[in-house]
A and B are shown apart, each in its own frame.
Chain A
Amino acid sequence: DGGITQSPKYLFRKEGQNVTLSCEQNLNHDAMYWYRQDPGQGLRLIYYSQIVNDFQKGDIAEGYSVSREKKESFPLTVTSAQKNPTAFYLCASISRDRGSEAFFGQGTRLTVV
């Protein structure tokens, strides 16, 4: 089955640690995105990538980093510089063939302990 897989589903981070969230897709989509969602809030764009080895900052990129070494993979690192990382993180890919339709993973819930 084609889709987007995010792992882990739940992640706990200690103060000062970097953690990496995984996002893998087998939909052959060029564009991939990371969003952050806080309780009762909409989706805020962290980073996006339209092609391998290239990515762009979104609206709230500070304290986050990404890489895009393979078309299928777009991992997100939450660094210690991100002061309020507790949130629900969603990865998505967008189909050019179906004009802007976004496909989402099931999300990773990150909690600082």
Chain B
Amino acid sequence: QKEVEQDPGPLSVPEGAIVSLNCTYSNSAFQYFMWYRQYSRKGPELLMYTYSSGNKEDGRFTAQVDKSSKYISLFIRDSQPSDSATYLCAMGNTGGFKTIFGAGTRLFVKA
């Protein structure tokens, strides 16, 4: 079993739709949860960073962490064509240097 599972997609939605991206994980020691956005042929950039369970909102983006279910989500409201990218979930724990990445979900937002 992989430590992190993420559906690779692709996911295609119309402009303005609400997008839901998800990851599940198996290691209960993870405490830090991140979402990265990667445009084609570029390095991933940090989009959202959360610690432990709960929600975090930043503009059109909301990250949710449910540690009891080992499940994290990223919601994108009012999606735009510029949101078309690959979204990778990532997680790590205190004192550890190793961050584990999901496979990434390719998102296409159609104008």
Chain A residues within 8 Å of B, Cβ to Cβ: 4, 6, 30-31, 35, 40-43, 48, 50, 88, 90, 94, 96, 98-107, 109
Contacts and interface: CB of A to CB of B under 8 A. Distances in A.
Nearest to B2: A42
Contacts of B101: 35, 42-43
B97 A42 contact: no
Interface residues of B, number: 29
B34 interface: yes
Interface stretch (B12-20, B42-50, B53-61, B70-78): B42-50
In order of increasing CB-CB distance, the 4 nearest A-B pairs are A100-B92, A42-B103, A104-B43, A31-B97
A41 B32 CA distance: 23
B53 to A, nearest CB: 15
A102 B97 CA distance: 9
Given A31-B97, A48-B97, A104-B44, A42 B8 contact: yes
12 contacts: A31-B97, A35-B101, A48-B98, A100-B91, A100-B92, A100-B96, A100-B97, A100-B99, A103-B46, A104-B43, A104-B44, A107-B42
Interface of B: 6, 8, 31-32, 34, 36, 41-46, 49, 51, 88, 90-94, 96-99, 101-104, 106
A41 B43 CA distance: 14
A104 B42 CA distance: 9
